[in-house]
Structure 1
Amino acid sequence: MKAAVYRRFGSPDVVLLDDQPKPTPRRGELLVRVQATTVSAADYRARTKHVPQGLKLLSSVTLGIITPRTPVLGMDAPFYATVGFVAATILAVLLVAGADLHA
C-alpha cells in the first residue's frame, strides 16, 4: 500500500510517498481502505516537533528523539494514547503525593 512517510523531522519536503506493507488486523480490529485523508495539526507537529514549550520533553519521548518513532503520517492514535497514559500516570502520582489540584 502507499503511505505518506517521513524518516527525519523537518519541513514538508521530508514527506515521501512510499510502499508500506499492508497492515493485518488483529482480533477486534478492522482494516479500512482510505481513498483520501487530511493532514492534521497532529501530523504537522509530529513531523516538525513544533509543540508547546511545556510538551517538548514528553513529545520527544513519544514522537522520537532523533528520528520519528512512527514514520507513517496519520498515525497519531499511538501518540495520543501514550500522552493520555503519561498524563494519567502524572495525575495519579500527584494525587498519591497529596497535591492540591484545585489551587
Structure 2
Amino acid sequence: MAEKTIMLVCSAGMSTSLLVTKMQKAAEAKGLDAEIFATGASDAENKLEEKHPDILMLGPQVKYMEEDYKKKLDIPVVSINMQDYGMMNGEKVLNTAIEDLEK
C-alpha cells in the first residue's frame, strides 16, 4: 500500500489523467511512494469511500466544489493552481500536495 494517496477530481476525469502521469514521475524522482489517481466529479464520492485518500485536489473546472468537500471531509482539500494545471506541471502540483499534507 502506498505511503500517501492523492486523489484528483476534474469534471470528467480525462484531462487530469495526463497530470497524474506527470505527478507519478515526479513522485518517483523524489523517492515518494504515492498512489495518485484521477476521477470525474460524478464518481468522486465512490472513490473517496473506496480509496480513502490522504488529500483531495480539485481541478480548476470543479473548484466550486471546494467548500462542500472541506465541510464533509477531514483531509486537506486543495484547488489545483490553474496555471500549473494548464501547463500540466506535475512536479508543482505534487509539491502543493506534499506541502498541504505536512500542515
**Which structure would you say has the larger RCO, counting Cα contacts within 8 Å and 6 or more residues apart?**
2
Higher strand residue share: 2
When Rg is computed on C-alpha atoms for both structures, the one with the higher figure is 1
Task: With the length of structure 2 as denominator, give the TM-score of the two structures.
Answer: 0.30
Higher helix residue share: 2
